[in-house]
Amino acid sequence: MDGSKVISRKRVLFVLLFGFLALVSQSVNFSQLVGSKSQFFTFFQFIGPIAGGFLGPVAGVASVLLAQVGGIALLGKPFDFISVLRLTPMLFAAVYFANYKQKHNWFVPLLAIAAFLLHPVGGQAWYYSLYWLIPVVAALLPENLFLRSLGATFTAHAVGGVIWLYTFAPELNTPAYWTALIPIVAYERFLFAAGIAVSFVVFNTVLHKLEHWVPNEVVSVDARYVLSRQGLGVKA
């Protein structure tokens, strides 16, 4: 592999630009995190995972990490161990979205299920962790943008769910709490997946229009998801 294509000025610039857009999206709240009065899901949930689709897993993770660290710095939050843990769900979502058909992506949700079941409370609410089979099933089914998006958001959910179980709000850690979350998770993650899919189409369409300024070696545009007058897809 030509290192100049992996690390180039244009590629670094695009990583920075995408990271900036992701950073801005973190300031727009979408819904409140159940069990917390000060934590929210933001529109970052919609565009964070697609970084892997355009930049590949390495550069995609770099742009997402840049945006999240920037968000912590701008908001003046402490950069402690818990803060670092909270960065990880979206990083895994970006990796999943980049190459969701790869079997190594199954390791993360399956490991999350195991960790959930090993917890005293999680073991009693074992059925909640069945959500995390979705990324595995999505990868086994014929390629589909919504399934890819659904797998990505549930990969983030798997990682975040285990982190929450082991580190946050111990007073809420009851089987009843996790059971009550089941319909809420279904609603939220469906919306997140739809938002990810729409964002991917929008970004593909815009980048296709800017193809003369954004060469293929800098960012990968998927012609199947470029919106044209005839609908999705243009001649590659």
Tell me what pLDDT residue 144 has.
Answer: 93
**Residues 195-231 pLDDT 10s:** 999 989 988 888 888 766 665 566 778 888 888 755 6
Tell me what pLDDT residue 3 has.
Answer: 44
**Residues 53-63 pLDDT 10s:** 888 888 888 87
**Residues 120-151 pLDDT 10s:** 999 999 999 999 999 999 999 999 999 999 99
CA 193, 197, 202, 206 torsion-angle sign: positive
Straight-line distance from the first to the last Cα atom of the chain, in angstroms, rounded to the nearest whole number: 24
Could you give the C-alpha distances from 66 to 80, 90, 108, in angstroms and in order?
16, 12, 22
% residues pLDDT > 70 (the chain) = 71
**Residues 34-44 pLDDT 10s:** 444 455 556 67
DSSP letters of the chain? Answer: --HHHHS-HHHHHHHHHHHHHHHHHTTSEEEEPTT-SS-EEETHHHHTTTHHHHHHHHHHHHHHHHHHHHHHHHHT----HHHHHHHHHHHHHHHHHHSTTSGGGGHHHHHHHHHHHHSHHHHHTGGGGGGGGHHHHHHHSPP-HHHHHHHHHHHHHHHHHHHHHHHS-GGG-SHHHHHHHHHHHHHHHHHHHHHHHHHHHHHHHHHHHTTTTS-TTT----GGG-EETTEE----
Confidence of residue 26 (pLDDT cuts 50, 70, 90): low
Tell me what pLDDT residue 127 has.
Answer: 97
Please report, for the chain, the start and end positions of each structural domain, with discontinuous segments joined by +: 3-232
Query: Contact, 85 vs 163, CB < 8 A?
Result: yes
Q: Record the tokens describing residue 160, joined without a space.
A: 């975040």
Among residues 105, 28, 97, which one has the least CA distance to residue 64?
97
- Mean pLDDT of all residues in 29-33: 54
Regarding predicted confidence, which is higher, 115 or 83?
115
Query: With 80 as the cut, is the pLDDT of residue 80 above it?
Result: no
